[in-house]
Amino acid sequence: MASFDIVSKVDPQTLENAVNTAQKELQTRYDLRDTKGGIELNKKENTILLSSENSMRVKALEDILLGRVVKQGIDGTSLDFSADEQPSGNLIKKTIKVRAGVDKEFGRKIIKAIKDAKVKVEAQMQDDQVRVTAKKIDDLQAAIAVLRRSDIGLPLQFVNMKS
């Protein structure tokens, strides 16, 4: 049986490089030069903390970060900007989660997209990845093509192809 795994991961070193270049750009931009706060990466929790005096500057920090992440080759959908801003003293903070792994909700979407395409493969959820198996490699390639066309809302990588 041929198989491959569908995962969603971000290279931590590339993410760190993107955050570092965003911090450098923050220091050199004229409109944000005297801003308190900044951009901080928390590797353990896999989050990025943006902080500034007002919401407009936090939005500017988001734009800088997103631009740098995309320039480093990381898919922009791997960052979850849905969290609300929280006031903290005289600063406004926003925590951005970096999506790593395929959770159950996205796993169901992936499996549903494969089943709706009626490709002769079997997909099953395993921890934070989806394993797809088939008798022929051509069917696996058809499943990959279906997933690349569909909009899951998560950057997907196809790894561990075995024949």
The pLDDT of residue 91: 87
Under 8 Å between Cβ of 53 and 92? yes
pLDDT digits (tens, 9 = 90+) for 140-158: 888 889 888 888 888 888 8
Q: Is the pLDDT score of 17 beyond 90? A: yes
Entry field: residues in the chain = 163
Q: Is the pLDDT score of 33 beyond 80? A: no
| CATH number of 119's domain | 3.30.70.860
pLDDT digits (tens, 9 = 90+) for 112-133: 888 888 888 888 898 888 899 9
Q: How far from 20 is each of 9, 14, 33, 43, 113, CA to CA, in Å?
A: 19, 10, 16, 13, 37
Which of the listed residues 98, 114, 136 is the one where a domain comes to its end?
A: 98
The pLDDT of residue 162: 83
User: Domain of 147?
Assistant: 2-8+101-162
How far is 58 from 75, CA to CA, in rounded Å? 21
Give the ranges where 30-162 is alpha helix by DSSP (H). 55-71, 104-116, 137-149
pLDDT digits (tens, 9 = 90+) for 51-101: 888 888 888 889 999 999 999 998 888 888 888 888 878 888 999 999 888
Co-location of 122 and 108 in the same domain: yes
Structural tokens at position 108: 């169901």
Which of the listed residues 50, 68, 98 is the one where a domain comes to its end?
A: 98
At 18, is the secondary structure helix, strand, or coil? Answer: helix
How far is 50 from 86, CA to CA, in rounded Å? 10
Q: Is the pLDDT score of 14 beyond 80? A: yes
Structural tokens at position 2: 């041929």
**What's the number of domains the chain is made of?**
2
Mean pLDDT value across residues 39-45: 90
Which H or E element spans position 121?
Answer: none
The pLDDT of residue 58: 86
Co-location of 129 and 73 in the same domain: no
Co-location of 22 and 94 in the same domain: yes
Structural tokens at position 115: 């089943």
The pLDDT of residue 31: 76
